[in-house]
């Protein structure tokens, strides 16, 4: 099911979205939908981390570094799992 909405975007944002959609081979609406889905996944992940930290305590610098390393490898297309980091 698809819900139609009317949105207002600044000229520069609309032009940038139009260009990005064209580069990605998507319609304007499909590109915006994917961007919104990605933002919602990020928010869900941040809520998950906050919930986990509420129970287990803040992430250590070592844990954050391991997570950043894993993210960098995932974004670069390199497969493999990050080394497990021991909890304090």
- The token pair that represents 83 in the structure block: 């080394």
Report whether 29 contacts 18 (CB < 8 A). no
Q: What is the pLDDT of residues 3-21, one digit of tens each?
A: 999 999 999 999 999 999 9
Under 8 Å between Cβ of 60 and 88: yes
Q: Record the pTM.
A: 0.68
CA angle at residue 57 from 80 to 71, to 5 degrees? 25
- The 10s digit of each residue's pLDDT in 19-64 is 999 999 999 999 999 999 999 999 999 999 999 999 999 999 999 9
Q: Phi and psi (nearest 5°) for 59? A: -65, 145
Phi and psi at residue 26, in whole multiples of 5°? -120, 160
């Amino acid at each position: 099911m698809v819900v139609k909405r009317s949105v207002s975007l600044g000229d520069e944002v609309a032009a940038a979205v139009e260009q990005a959609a064209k580069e990605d081979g998507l319609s304007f609406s499909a590109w915006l939908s994917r961007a919104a889905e990605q933002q919602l996944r990020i928010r869900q992940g941040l809520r998950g981390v906050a919930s986990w930290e509420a129970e287990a305590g803040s992430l250590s610098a070592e844990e954050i570094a391991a997570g950043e390393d894993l993210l960098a490898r995932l974004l670069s297309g390199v497969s493999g799992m990050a080394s497990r980091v021991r909890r304090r």
